[in-house]
Amino acid sequence: MKATWILPDGREIAAEVPAGRNLMEAALAANVPGVVGECGGSLSCATCHVHVAEDWFAATGTAGDFEEAMLDVSDTPRADTSRLSCQIVMAPGLDGIVLRVPQA
Amino acid sequence: MSIWHPDDDGHADLSSHDTFTAGPPHNTFARLRRDDPLHWSDWSGGKGFWSVTRHADILDLNRQTDLLSSARGIRMEDQTYEEYLARRTFQETDPPEHSQTRIKVAKAFSKPVIAGFEGVIRDLCREILDDALAKGRFDATKDIARQLPMRMLGRIIGTPDADLPWLVEKGDALIANTDPDFTDHVLDRMKTDEYRLMPFNSPAGAELYDYAKRLMADKAARGDTDGVLHLILQPGPDGSVISETEFRNFFCLLVAAGNDTTRYSIAAGIHALMHQPGLLDDIRSGAVDETMADEIIRWATPTLYFRRTATRDFDMHGKTVRAGDKVLYWFASANRDEAAFDAPFRVNLGRTPNRHLSFGQGGPHVCLGMWLARLEVRVLFKELAARVQSIEPAGDAQFLRSNFIGGIKTLPVSVTLQ
């Protein structure tokens, strides 16, 4: 399955992501700059913050309470489609998903 | 100097605080990473422990909080359940309990809020450097590295500057509780268990708590609701409120943990400037502004390890860890792992990416103060490089007597100004 990150300068990075892997880990494996994931996906930081492309946002589900709280203290600007990418797990319904990496 | 040319015989006793007075035993860590990546040590002071020394293994284990728990203590020493409850902070809890507390203070330490302190930090750096550099020869740990985090602590918790030396002295007595230069109650030489329910098994914990109570009463009287101490007293998302004991321990954690780690990062960075030519030029070039702080903090690795406790049996590297066993994540070793870093024994201020583990990255306990630490280190070294032409050793550097916190406690230098 495929995921694509659009960087602040417009450059795109696409990667194959196996089902079950979260998109923070996938971004680290693909060396996507701006996605760091300092807490390993345990909702203690917001360094894997992304803006999900509008068309894909509904398919990613909704953020839980702790994710909401961490999005509020993110180091990059929050948008309507903000998610912590560690909380989005690749699945058949997300094949082809597009994420924007916010400008630091 | 042992950081650059480690001289341990490859079989150093990791349980001994004295081992680390010569700097971290990097030959031993290198051997363990290569030959024995899950290593058992017996310990005369308590139950033995496992050491995990590879970068990849620590990353893999650190996120598995259901398997390796923080809720039995995070240092090597054994605690009874009574001692654990009396002394714990949210560092010694697991998700989701950990998250309930952390979320209350996350904003105060978030990158955008911390970025607002840059001007304050720069002004403090200039004051500190004005005083220190004018001396020509001085102890860079005492006169520079200790000063900046101490004065920032006052800004973060809202204490008068006049109280700071006392607060930091008490914080040092807690976290450097194995070094006789910092405490009269050296942990592994104590004859009493009188303080076993106090933070860090130290009477300084009680004194800090009395101070915190007076501080909060003064703030309440003034109607002052700013700052992180007020935030921690608010109910969490589930309505839970921190207990008096937990508040005491949180205050001690702020005073202790927020201070010495940044201090020893700065000290290790200044030490590096003296031993690896070209670093001052790199800083002055402006090309490493975004990366230099992380490399200095990787190089320093002030928190040498954190401990976890296995919640069930598991196999790793052909050995079996039993439920209840203590497992140490040696960040000091992971940050010199040849499999994770090119030339790990060189300081490369432009290192990108820099997936060091000095902040305990990869798990829920990743350092709350990491943005503040990075900002303090970056601004301090920018200001320092702009003023000095060269820095030379003016005596032997001395390391803290601790296998938990690694730091240069005395760093005699002489400077030539630009």
The three-state DSSP-derived secondary structure of A33-52 is: CCCCCCCCCCCCCCCCEEEE
For residue B237, which residues of chain A lie inside 8 Å, CB to CB?
A: 65-66, 69
In chain A, which residue's Cα lies nearest the Cα of B290?
Answer: A104
- Helix, strand, coil percentages, rounded to 5, for chain A: 25, 20, 50
**Beta-ladder partners of B410:** B398
Residues of B with a Cβ under 8 Å from any A Cβ are 59, 62-63, 65, 95-96, 98-99, 102-103, 106-107, 110-113, 237, 353, 359, 361-366, 370-371
- Kindly state whether A68 is in contact with chain B, defined as any CB-CB distance less than 8 angstroms: no
Contact B363 A75 (CB under 8 A): no
CA separation for the pair B351, B331 (Å, rounded):
18
Peptide bond into B96 cis (omega under 30): yes
- Nearest CB neighbour to B103, from listed A39, A40, A66: A66
Confidence of residue B58 (pLDDT cuts 50, 70, 90): very high
Confidence of residue B3 (pLDDT cuts 50, 70, 90): low
pLDDT the model gives residue B23: 94
Q: What is the pLDDT of residues B258-305, one digit of tens each?
A: 789 999 999 999 999 999 999 999 999 999 999 999 999 999 999 999
Is the pLDDT assigned to residue A32 strictly greater than 60? yes
Q: Can you point out the beta strands (E) in B108-247?
A: 137-139
H/E segment holding residue B315: strand B314-316
Q: Kindly state whether residue B206 falls inside one of the protein's structural domains.
A: yes
Nearest partner of B169 among B257, B268, B255, B75, judged by Cα = B255
**What rounded mean pLDDT belongs to chain B?**
92
Count Cβ atoms below 10 Å from residue B219 Cβ, excluding itself.
17
Q: Kindly state whether residue B13 falls inside one of the protein's structural domains.
A: no
- Nearest CB neighbour to A38, from listed B95, B106, B361: B361
- Nearest CB neighbour to B110, from listed A41, A42, A75: A75
For residue A72, which residues of chain B lie inside 8 Å, CB to CB?
A: 107
CA separation for the pair B236, B249 (Å, rounded):
17
* Residue B230, domain CATH: 1.10.630.10
Q: What percent of chain B has pLDDT over 70?
A: 99
In chain B, which residue's Cα lies nearest the Cα of A75?
Answer: B111
pLDDT the model gives residue B157: 85
Four-point Cα dihedral B44, B33, B261, B256, nearest 10? -30
Contact A38 B103 (CB under 8 A): no
Q: In a 3-state reduction of DSSP, which class is residue A73?
A: coil
DSSP summary character for residue B145 = I
Contact A42 B111 (CB under 8 A): no
Confidence of residue B307 (pLDDT cuts 50, 70, 90): very high
Is the pLDDT assigned to residue A48 strictly greater than 50? yes
Q: In a 3-state reduction of DSSP, which class is residue B405?
A: strand
Contact A75 B99 (CB under 8 A): no
Q: Kindly state whether residue B5 falls inside one of the protein's structural domains.
A: no
Q: What is the pLDDT of residues B135-194, one digit of tens each?
A: 999 999 999 999 999 999 888 888 888 999 898 888 888 888 888 888 888 888 877 777
CA separation for the pair B198, B245 (Å, rounded):
10
For residue A41, which residues of chain B lie inside 8 Å, CB to CB?
A: 63
Q: Kindly state whether residue B2 falls inside one of the protein's structural domains.
A: no
- Nearest CB neighbour to A39, from listed B113, B364, B371: B364
Four-point Cα dihedral A79, A84, A89, A94, nearest 10? 10
- Nearest CB neighbour to A38, from listed B99, B107, B359: B359
Contact B99 A38 (CB under 8 A): no
Confidence of residue B99 (pLDDT cuts 50, 70, 90): confident
Q: Kindly state whether residue B11 falls inside one of the protein's structural domains.
A: no
Binding-face residues of A in 1-30 toward B, CB within 8 A: none
Q: What is the pLDDT of residues B369-404, one digit of tens each?
A: 999 999 999 999 999 999 999 999 999 999 999 999
Is the pLDDT assigned to residue B1 strictly greater than 50? no
DSSP summary character for residue B142 = I
Q: How far is A39 from chain B (nearest CA, A)?
A: 4
Is the pLDDT assigned to residue A66 strictly greater than 50? yes
So what's the ipTM on this one? 0.90
- Return phi, psi of residue B199, to 5°: -50, 135
- Nearest CB neighbour to B366, from listed A45, A74, A75: A45
- Nearest CB neighbour to A65, from listed B65, B102, B237: B237
For residue B98, which residues of chain A lie inside 8 Å, CB to CB?
A: 44
The boundaries of the domain holding residue B114 are 18-417
Contact A42 B353 (CB under 8 A): no
A2-100 is classed in which CATH architecture? Roll (3.10)
Domain count, chain B: 1
- Model's pTM, two decimal places? 0.94
Peptide bond into A18 cis (omega under 30): no
For residue B106, which residues of chain A lie inside 8 Å, CB to CB?
A: 44, 69-70, 73
- Kindly state whether A104 is in contact with chain B, defined as any CB-CB distance less than 8 angstroms: no
B162-180 burial: b if 16+ Cβ within 10 Å, else e:
eebeebbebbbbbbbbbbe
For residue A103, which residues of chain B lie inside 8 Å, CB to CB?
A: none
Q: Of A18-32, A59-73, B9-23, where does mean pLDDT reach its minimum? A: A59-73
Nearest partner of B343 among B59, B28, B4, judged by Cα = B4
CA separation for the pair A52, A63 (Å, rounded):
12
The residue written with tokens 């030379």 in the block is B392
Is the pLDDT assigned to residue B240 strictly greater than 50? yes
Contact B95 A42 (CB under 8 A): yes
For B159, residues 6+ apart whose C-beta sits below 8 A from its C-beta are B153, B167, B215
Q: How far is B17 from chain A (nearest CA, A)?
A: 29
Q: Kindly state whether residue B3 falls inside one of the protein's structural domains.
A: no
